[in-house]
Amino acid sequence: MTAFAIRGETFAFVADPFAGPPHEAYRHDSDGAVVIENGGIREMGTAADVLARNPGIVVDHYPGHLVLAGFVDCHIHYPQTRVIASYGAQLIDWLNTYTFPAELAFADPGHAAAAAEVFFAEVLRNGTTTVSSYCTVHPQSVDAFFAAASARNLRVAGGKVLMDRNAPAGLTDTPQSAYDDTKALIARWHGKGRNVYAVSPRFAPTSSPEQLEAAGAVWREHPGTLMQTHLNENKDEIAWVRQLFPDAPDYFGVYERFGLTGPGANFGHAIHLTERERVALRESGSGISHCPTSNTFIGSGLFDLAGMREIPVGLATDIGGGSSFSMLATMKAAYEVAQLRGHSLHPVRAFYLASLGSARVLRMDHQIGNLARGFEADVIVLDPRAKPLLAERVGQARSIEDVLFALMILGDDRAVKAVYAAGNRLV
């Protein structure tokens, strides 16, 4: 592929904004450029420097637009796209009333393929270039997911949901079939193109101890794959786990016992943590997906972002429990949840969570989530004047940080002007 440049207001991280002052954690060029070659970022800097070094290069020029790394949504359920905005249930009712009936339809490969198309169109429209998605119990739902991602050359993670109890008959497998199916799917998809497999037990209540054992074994046998599940989302759920696993010290302790913790383990929610769990999460190197629109929409609770300290945290929509595909809307919800806990989430930190932070949870922070030389060219272009009120507000902004804040509070898919994945313009 011939090299080309994207020119606009570039924004990139140079440090972790949670480790120090946020204003020292980024580089912003009001007229910057990124050179893309063979799907990767070859160089970046001020437009004047970059264009002088690359005379005659083709330029996609977006004056007055922000150019940044694509968003990374580290916890989502593509089969639940159609149950978004479903009324009146908390977690366990939610699963039984909305989620499980929707997932049953994925036994049909045609349905799964059509759903994956709708899903990726929506994800990309919102500027998200990487997701880590749960599929359903059916291997064909995983095939549909990775096939649709591969057709767009996206870096994604995903995996077959494992459930062998407390779920409808059409959605359950067994410890053995969970192991066998996962192993076969890893062989078929993991490391093919930009696909990464995530071993995906739904959560402790829907897996027997034998199945969690099998999940731990297959994850251990395939280094480089990820593991994703849910943790401490809802108080009734936590009480149920205590009943089902009376010998475990707590919810996280269930996953520890079966070898489902450590780097590459990605726990959704983690709202109601004990101090022991917090320490164990940190010491294990596991990551957390913060899903604020889901947590408020399903009424699960207020995530304690400030209490996570060195635990890697990413930002996620958790569709269909979440109420928006937009990572801008998700940042807004994270800001509101933090406000209700007495802290203000700085916009640079919010954008970090939505990109490099999520990439870190997925162990992809050397590949995606930032604009930097050697990174894969997943790049988005945002229009900070995409709608009248946003334009009015941004007209008053005194800094790039203020522009970012206005975008995350007032922005949505209308602000997404262009999306490039591996250097290909998809939107």
For 61-119, the DSSP string reads EEEEEEEEEPEEEEEEEGGGGGGTT--S--HHHHIIIIIHHHHHGGGSHHHHHHHHHHH
How many of the chain's residues bind Zn ion (CB under 5 A)? 2
3-state SS, residue 400 = helix
Residues 259-298 contacting Zn ion, CB under 5 A: 268
Alpha-carbon distance 204 to 187, whole Å? 25
Q: Does 250 bind Zn ion (CB under 5 A)?
A: no
Residues 230 and 269 sit within 8 Å (Cβ to Cβ): yes
Token representation of residue 82: 């159609």
Our CB check for Zn ion shows the closer of 83 and 356 to be 83
Our CB check for Zn ion shows the closer of 316 and 418 to be 316
Q: Closest separation between CB of residue 322 and Zn ion, Å?
A: 8
Residues 70 and 19 sit within 8 Å (Cβ to Cβ): no
Q: Which element (helix H / strand E) includes 380?
A: strand 379-382
Residues 169-198 contacting Zn ion, CB under 5 A: none
Instruction: Mark residues 302-321: x for contact with Zn ion by CB under 5 A, - for none.
Output: ----------------x---
Q: Closest separation between CB of residue 14 and Zn ion, Å?
A: 32
Q: Closest separation between CB of residue 203 and Zn ion, Å?
A: 8
Our CB check for Zn ion shows the closer of 305 and 400 to be 305
Of the candidates 137, 157, 147, 83, which has an alpha carbon nearest to the alpha carbon of residue 113? 147
| Amino acid occupying residue 172 | T
Q: Closest separation between CB of residue 101 and Zn ion, Å?
A: 16
3-state SS, residue 303 = coil
Q: Closest separation between CB of residue 76 and Zn ion, Å?
A: 8
Our CB check for Zn ion shows the closer of 254 and 270 to be 270
Our CB check for Zn ion shows the closer of 236 and 392 to be 236
Our CB check for Zn ion shows the closer of 10 and 358 to be 358
Contacts to Zn ion by CB under 5 A: 268, 318
